[in-house]
Amino acid sequence: MNNPLDSAEFSRDPYPLLAALRARGPVQRVRTDKGRTTWVVTGWAEARAALADARLSKDTARYFADRPGNRRLAPAVSRTMLATDPPDHGRLRRLAMKAFTPAAVARLEPRIRAIAEELADALGARGSADLVGEFAEPLPITVISELLGVPEPDRAAVRRWSRDLFAAAAPDTVDRASHALSDYMTRLIAARRETLGADVLSGLIAARDEADRLSEAELVSLAVLLVVAGHETTTHLIGNGMVALLRDDALRTRLRADPGLLPAAVEEFLRYDSPITLATFRFATEPFDLGGARISAGEVVLVSPGAANRDPARFVAPDEVRLDRHRRTERTEPAEAWEATEAWDAPAPPDRPRCPRSAEGIPGPGRPGGHLSFGHGPHHCLGAPLARVEARIAFEVLLTRFPGIRPAVDSWDALEWRHTRLMHGPAGLPVVL
Ligand code: HEM
């Protein structure tokens, strides 16, 4: 039987299948089409625990060392911080983190808004548009390209390569894209060395902190990762959020009337329809028990943010969009279980009063949130503050500029969805403005 996780139906609506898996237990063994088995973690508590468990490694090079011939990805693509375990991981992450703190991202806000407004100008001139191709895709790629100093004429190629890396494309296409992107970033970094600019890459090249200094190869890996990790994911956050908004007139009206609710809406869209649905990859370095399952050393464990985010054991009415989740007490764990990976990421204990929003518009620790769309633990998404701000501005600009926006599809079933196993998002979103 074909693997249902590879089906077009799963790409369109992954939640029934994920719910069915979760109903059998929070950690389930699934057979892949290559005849192997893999564990899928669908329960929220188990997923959160797995994401922070040191017995689960992200070192793909180590995993594939015993399985030659799997991929010929460029090393810069396969050996990023995302595929490195502590303690090395911390060194790779620390320097880059400085560019993506909520405060650093807040300084980018005027430019992000200007890019969003320019894209909206072009849409508005036409009266109808594909919101994915003409807004949700170009916004994040333009922002990250400007941050890294990728010149305008090169951006289409960078966008294509990074997209090919995630597409359900032939292995050769994926391998070629990985080398093209890696070669491009090598050349860009060499050019930046000649003339340092005000961009993030120049900052990383110039960093003189001996302990954390990155080698040339590490710098190339980081540049590749920043482009790849922050592009398609943010596109899908905007795309999925707009689908939810277009399906709900009352929600659009409410957000237009009170833009202060937008940060809560971004969190809820992240939870309700996570851009990374099925998998964040890990493998077990030793045998251990998780959610009633016995995992053996060497086995692959896919932690599914999409499934965890709709776990009824954690979220009340998980299949509904509810903006007031951050005010209500969800089904919670004891307060001591809320250890923080990053201060602002930690959901608050249920009895803590709501705090005002931070300067970056991120709701304070009164937000239980608790979705796992940005992961959790040491690999918690580095670009989360940037993605949050981009999405908030995107929804605000679209709702304000186009109060009469409506879908231009006959039925929601007719909408095409990207066919990748990892992610969930519309391939296009036709609208009348
Ligand atoms: C890591 C999701 C946007 C850069 C991650 C992880 C997730 C994630 C789930 C952890 C993976 C794991 O533990 O296996 C998302 C989503 C985004 C988004 C849903 C948008 C809505 C961004 C942006 C950037 C970025 C805009 C950068 C510009 C990274 C990096 C890592 C990461 C560098 C690796 C962190 C590490 O290994 O320590 N992201 N991401 N992401 N993300 Fe994001």
Domain edges within the chain: 7-423
Are 60 and 71 spatial neighbours (Cβ–Cβ below 8 Å)? no
Whether 233 is in the pocket of ligand 1, judged by its Cβ within 6 Å, is yes
CA of 225 relative to ligand 1 center, distance in Å: 9
The predicted structure's pLDDT at residue 246: 97
Are 397 and 113 spatial neighbours (Cβ–Cβ below 8 Å)? yes
The predicted structure's pLDDT at residue 126: 85
What are the residue ranges of helices labelled H in 230-364? 232-246, 249-257, 262-272, 305-308
Identify the bridge partners of residue 288 per DSSP, sorted by sequence position.
Answer: 295
Are 421 and 174 spatial neighbours (Cβ–Cβ below 8 Å)? no
Give the contacts of 107 (CB within 8 A, at least 6 positions apart).
Answer: none
The predicted structure's pLDDT at residue 205: 83
Whether 234 is in the pocket of ligand 1, judged by its Cβ within 6 Å, is yes
Please tell me the residue having the least CA distance from ligand 1 atom 26: 230
First to last CA, the chain: 44
Are 201 and 148 spatial neighbours (Cβ–Cβ below 8 Å)? yes
Please tell me the residue having the least CA distance from ligand 1 atom 30: 382
Half-sphere exposure of 334 (CA within 13 A, CB side): 2
The predicted structure's pLDDT at residue 125: 82
Helices 155-166 and 232-246: angle between axes, nearest 10 degrees: 80
Q: Regarding beta strands 406-407 and 430-432, do their DSSP bridges make them parallel or antiparallel, or are they unpaired? A: antiparallel
CA of 276 relative to ligand 1 center, distance in Å: 10
Return the ∠ at Cα 302 (arms to 297 and 308), rounded to 5°. 130
183-205 pLDDT per residue, tens: 999 999 999 888 888 888 888 88
The predicted structure's pLDDT at residue 275: 95
364-381 pLDDT per residue, tens: 333 445 899 999 999 999
DSSP state of 214: P
Task: Please report the ipTM that was assigned to this predicted complex.
Answer: 0.98
Q: Regarding beta strands 27-31 and 293-295, do their DSSP bridges make them parallel or antiparallel, or are they unpaired? A: unpaired
Please tell me the residue having the least CA distance from ligand 1 atom 15: 374
Mean pLDDT by 10 residues, the chain (433 residues): 74 93 95 82 96 93 72 76 90 84 88 97 90 96 92 93 78 86 94 86 74 82 90 95 97 95 94 92 95 95 96 94 68 34 36 35 42 94 95 97 94 89 91 95
Are 39 and 293 spatial neighbours (Cβ–Cβ below 8 Å)? yes
Half-sphere exposure of 242 (CA within 13 A, CB side): 33
The predicted structure's pLDDT at residue 210: 55
CA of 239 relative to ligand 1 center, distance in Å: 17
CA of 249 relative to ligand 1 center, distance in Å: 31
Residue % of the chain over a pLDDT of 70 = 86
Whether 219 is in the pocket of ligand 1, judged by its Cβ within 6 Å, is no
Please tell me the residue having the least CA distance from ligand 1 atom 3: 230
Return the ∠ at Cα 390 (arms to 12 and 151), rounded to 5°. 100
User: Which letter, b or e, does each residue of 273-303 get, where b requires 16 or more Cβ atoms within 10 Å of its Cβ?
Assistant: bbbbbbbbbbbbbeeeebbebebeeebbbbb
Q: Which CATH entry fits the domain spanning 7-423: 3.90.550.10, 2.40.30.10, 1.10.630.10, 1.10.10.60?
A: 1.10.630.10
Token readout for 38 is 């893999």
Whether 277 is in the pocket of ligand 1, judged by its Cβ within 6 Å, is no
Whether 225 is in the pocket of ligand 1, judged by its Cβ within 6 Å, is yes
- Ligand 1 atom at minimum distance from 376 CA: 13
Give the contacts of 417 (CB within 8 A, at least 6 positions apart).
Answer: 11, 12, 424, 425, 426, 427
